[in-house]
């Protein structure tokens, strides 16, 4: 079997691909990581501003997600010696590597939503005819 890159399919290549996808999903898993990255793409923000932008995320979950993204070098935590201490979060340059992924996910998500909405309309329209 030939894959989309014109290479012959083999088990080793397949396992490497599955591992790569699994690694990506491990880093970006969950409900909040991608929306959090998109929120921070607007520039450095304070914790409360991020929480407000995301809506119904709890402080505990937001803190955990920020720490995970910091460990994976997507987010940088900045501490400013002010009174009171100011802490902001910003995207690291490495996060730009997600731009093509996010664009494709956005495109796919829009197509998927349209498909589902249209498929739910069809039976109703067929009954009304």
Q: What is the pLDDT of residues 89-127, one digit of tens each?
A: 999 999 999 999 989 999 999 999 999 999 988 765 555
At 78, give phi and psi (nearest 5°). Answer: -110, 125
- Long-range pairs, 91-99, Cβ under 8 A, ≥24: 91/37, 91/40, 91/41, 95/37, 95/40, 95/41, 98/28, 98/37, 98/74
CB 31 within 8 A of CB 55: no
User: Where in the sequence of the chain do the CATH 1.10.10.10 domains occur?
Assistant: 31-128
Q: What is the number of alpha carbons within 13 Å of residue 44 lying toward its C-beta?
A: 11
Q: What is the pLDDT of residues 8-53, one digit of tens each?
A: 668 888 888 898 889 888 888 989 999 999 999 999 999 999 999 9
Q: Which fold has domain 31-128?
A: Arc Repressor Mutant, subunit A (1.10.10)
């Amino acid at each position: 079997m030939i894959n989309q890159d014109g290479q012959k399919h083999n088990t080793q290549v397949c396992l490497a691909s599955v591992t790569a996808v699994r690694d990506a999903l491990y880093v970006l898993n969950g409900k909040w990581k991608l929306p959090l990255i998109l929120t921070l793409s607007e520039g450095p923000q304070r914790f409360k501003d991020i929480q407000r932008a995301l809506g119904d995320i709890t402080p505990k979950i937001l803190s955990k997600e920020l720490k995970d993204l910091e460990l994976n070098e997507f987010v940088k935590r900045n501490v400013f010696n002010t009174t009171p201490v100011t802490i902001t979060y910003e995207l690291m340059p490495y996060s730009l590597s997600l731009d093509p992924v996010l664009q494709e996910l956005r495109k796919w998500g829009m197509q998927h939503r349209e498909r589902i909405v249209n498929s739910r309309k069809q039976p109703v329209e067929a009954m009304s005819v």
